[in-house]
Homo-oligomer: A and B are copies of this chain.
Amino acid sequence: MENNLVYTIGRQFGSGGRQVGRTLAKKLGIPFYDKELIALSAQESGLSEALFANADEKATSSIFYSLVMGNYPMASGALGVTEMPLNDQLFLIQCKTIKKLAETGSCVIVGRCADYILRERENVLNVFIHASLESRVERAIKVYQVDEHKAEDVCLKADKQRANFYNYYSDRKWGMCRTYDLSLDSSKIGIDGCADQIIAFGKALAEHKGQGI
């Protein structure tokens, strides 16, 4: 029905964005990719999952830091690409994985700049899930077992890291309305409510196709 629509989901830490994506995929009977992207990228490139997991949604550190840490291949890159920081090489591999997945049909992809990577594809619905800080803190403690005294800090730092990653690899701004087609406060309508709202938007998108405002 949704014409091979690919749903990308950006999210604040603790907003339940991943859960929204999982629920959405289940309701629509389509594949769901979050951490699964790490295993897929590792499989396709032959590199270790640990390498991808370590770089997951992190922007490249400064060249100086990379040099000190020894992960800036100066002459001949171990991955076959020279003069490029490791995280950038891993990002390019993940780009290929995401583009390949999108080609196979409708699916849900969480984070990892998927909206930007698929910017030239038609039929992509870009969503951002956020929530009140209070409810994110509560969720971080309950779901991720974060220490209650550190929970707020963990939420804010995780968001900062996601924003850095997104803003580094794209020409858009993480968390700005105009970056997405639809953004929702999950603390107002819950996980299920968000999934239903996204499905309704997908239907409206198909009906309205190309007619403008």
Once the chains are docked, how many angstroms separate the CA of A3 from the CA of B15?
Answer: 26
Partner of A208, one of B15, B177, B190, B211: B190
Interface flags for A96-133 (1: CB within 8 Å of B; 0: not) read: 00000000000000000000000000000000101100
Question: With contacts A182-B183, A183-B183, A185-B182 known, is A190 near B177, CB below 8 A?
Answer: no
| Copies of this chain, tallied across the complex | 2
Partner of A197, one of B128, B200, B207, B212: B200
Determine chain A's interface SS by DSSP, over half rule.
helix
Question: With contacts A175-B177, A176-B175, A193-B207 known, is A213 near B201, CB below 8 A?
Answer: no
Once the chains are docked, how many angstroms separate the CA of A130 from the CA of B180?
Answer: 10
Contact A213 B184 (CB under 8 A): no
Once the chains are docked, how many angstroms separate the CA of A196 from the CA of B185?
Answer: 17
Contact B139 A213 (CB under 8 A): yes
Once the chains are docked, how many angstroms separate the CA of A186 from the CA of B213?
Answer: 5
Question: With contacts A131-B213, A212-B138 known, is A188 near B181, CB below 8 A?
Answer: yes
Contact B212 A189 (CB under 8 A): no
Contact A201 B189 (CB under 8 A): yes
Contact A177 B138 (CB under 8 A): no
Task: Decide yes or no whether A158 CB sits under 8 A from chain B.
Answer: no
Once the chains are docked, how many angstroms separate the CA of A193 from the CA of B190?
Answer: 22
- Besides A139-B212, A190-B211, 18 other A-B contacts (C-beta < 8 A): A12-B178, A15-B213, A130-B177, A136-B213, A138-B212, A175-B177, A177-B183, A181-B184, A181-B188, A182-B197, A184-B201, A189-B204, A189-B205, A190-B204, A190-B212, A196-B204, A197-B200, A197-B204
